[in-house]
Amino acid sequence: MSQPGIRLVIGLGNPGPDYALTRHNAGFWLVDKLVEAYHGQLRAEAKFHGLMARVSVGGHDLRLLKPTTYMNHSGRSVAAVARYFDIAVEQILIAYDELDLPPGRAKLKHGGGHAGHNGMRDSIAALGSRDFWRLRMGIGHPGDKTRVIGYVLGRPSQADAAAILDVADDAVRAMPDLVEGRFQLAMNRLHAVPSTP
Q: Is residue 195 part of a domain?
A: no
CATH at 177: 3.40.50.1470
pTM (2 decimals)? Answer: 0.96
pLDDT value of residue 195: 55
**pLDDT tens sequence across 15-58:** 999 999 999 999 999 999 999 999 999 999 999 999 999 999 99
How many percent of the chain have pLDDT more than 70? 96
Domain residues for the domain of 118 are 8-190
DSSP state of 22: S
Amino acid sitting at position 142: P
* pLDDT tens, position by position, 132-176: 999 999 999 999 999 999 999 999 999 999 999 999 999 999 999
Q: Is the dihedral of CA 41, 154, 141, 166 positive or negative?
A: positive
- Cβ proximity of 57 and 35 under 8 Å: no
**pLDDT for 197 beyond 70:** no
Residue 1 lies in a domain: no
| Number of domain units in the chain | 1
In a domain, 196, yes or no: no
Q: Which residues are catalytic?
A: 24
In a domain, 197, yes or no: no
Q: Which residues are annotated as part of the binding site for tRNA? A: 19, 70, 72, 118
